[in-house]
Structure 1
Amino acid sequence: MTAQPDDGTLFDAAVAELRETAFRADIAVREITTPQSLAPFAIALAADVRPDDTGDSVYGTGRFVLLHDPDAPAPWDGPWRIVLFAQAPLEPEIGTDPLLADVAWSWLVDALDSRDAIYHSASGTSTKTLSKGFGGLAVEGDGAQIELRASWTPEGPFRPHVEAWAELVGMLAGLPPGSEGIAVIGARKAARD
């Protein structure tokens, strides 16, 4: 792919598009410091599902990074790349489901497809973990967590991609679409120290 000259105006337009995106009321999204040296241009967002007064969430969290490199790195197969992270605690019974990792990835694909987000060169991992506390952590009991890391090369507008990410973060936390104000399903509601 031939590199397109860019003085940052394409990236500035993309940033404006992301900043104008409205998110559901029970997911708090904020701009955060971008990772260094990944690309000449980058913007990063963080999301927390139903954060408490300190800004922490016991339900789930996520990160969305939009990268732009006018030189179109070969692995990206284009000048743009989206990198995301999403994780949520689960009830241990849900964490033992053998299809959980596959379901988490399918939720990302479904969220992108439902918004007509055009993309290619997708890759990622879906990880489920089970834990058991011992000694001083025994009071925390058993736990489980689902984590999704993914990246892809977007085409067209960026808003559908960031909306799909926000939906994924909510779904991993047990929030079905349009469920603002409804109790979270299946999330482990452990107290934080």
Structure 2
Amino acid sequence: MSDNLSTPSPAPAFIDAVDAVRRAATRDDLAVTEIPAPGGIAPNSLALAGDVVGANGRADSDLGTGRFTLLHDASEPEAWGGPFRVVCFAQAPLETDLALDPFVADVAWSWLVDSLDARGAAYDSASGTATKLLSTGYGELARHGDGALLELRASWSPTSTDLGPHIEAWGELICTLAGLPPTVEGVTLLASRRVGRD
């Protein structure tokens, strides 16, 4: 087991889930790495970081980035409705005109749910927020001009230890936010979506 497991003897269900996470296939245009898991939230946890791979073949968080944390508590916290909870984050630059679209947050949420459902990920109790961030640079930052980001923070409760579809859906979400073509049927891009990808 990795150093990222939070207890010396994790529960068998958590070990099975971690094995499924580590076996999951992600897109070639997303670099996924295991990172230190947060402590104190649950008895067991595992965390991943994902960054979109640029045209130069290197991961570049400015193109799109995300975090995926798997939490496990055998006591099944009431708010989770089971022993597992996934907490994830995904963010990518957005063209400023799209950031003004009142439906872009709804579309971002649908990308997550559609990706989970298309892969057959078993889950309950999904919740989250989609945020559009608009910025304008002034003074020394004026050369940066206007910018926008689309950010999704979400959590849900997996109902099995088969976490592969959850990882794949999260990776698909990051890449879709970044404007890369979806690999899931029924998910479509917003027109003129890509920003800053060489």
TM-score normalised by the shorter chain: which range applies?
0.7 to 0.9
Q: How far apart in 2 are the matches of 1:136 and 1:190?
A: 24
Shift of 1:16: 1.0
Shift of 1:56: 3.1
Q: How far apart in 1 are the matches of 2:183 and 2:115?
A: 14
Aligned to 1:43: 46
Q: How far apart in 1 are the matches of 2:157 and 2:59?
A: 31
Task: Say yes or no: does 1:101 pair with 2:105.
Answer: yes
Q: How many residues align?
A: 181
Q: How far apart in 1 are the matches of 2:197 and 2:63?
A: 9
Q: How far apart in 2 are the matches of 1:163 and 1:55?
A: 17
Contact 1:143-1:188 at 8 Å conserved across structures = no
Aligned to 1:163: 168
**Identical positions, percent:** 54
5+ residue gaps, structure 1, are: 1-5, 180-184
5+ residue gaps, structure 2, are: 1-8, 185-191
Aligned to 1:176: 181
SS at match of 1:64: strand
Q: Which AA in structure 1 matches 2:194?
A: A
Task: Say yes or no: does 1:186 pair with 2:190.
Answer: no
Aligned to 2:6: none
Contact 1:44-1:64 at 8 Å conserved across structures = yes
Contact 1:48-1:62 at 8 Å conserved across structures = yes
Q: How far apart in 2 are the matches of 1:22 and 1:155?
A: 20
How much is the aligned-residue C-alpha RMSD, in angstroms?
A: 2.0
Which of 27, 30, 53 lines up with 1:27 in the alignment?
30
Task: Say yes or no: does 1:13 pair with 2:20.
Answer: no
TM-score, normalising length from structure 1?
0.87
Shift of 1:189: 1.3
SS at match of 2:148: strand
Which of 62, 69, 73 lines up with 2:77 in the alignment?
73
Q: How far apart in 1 are the matches of 2:134 and 2:96?
A: 7
Task: Say yes or no: does 1:126 pair with 2:130.
Answer: yes
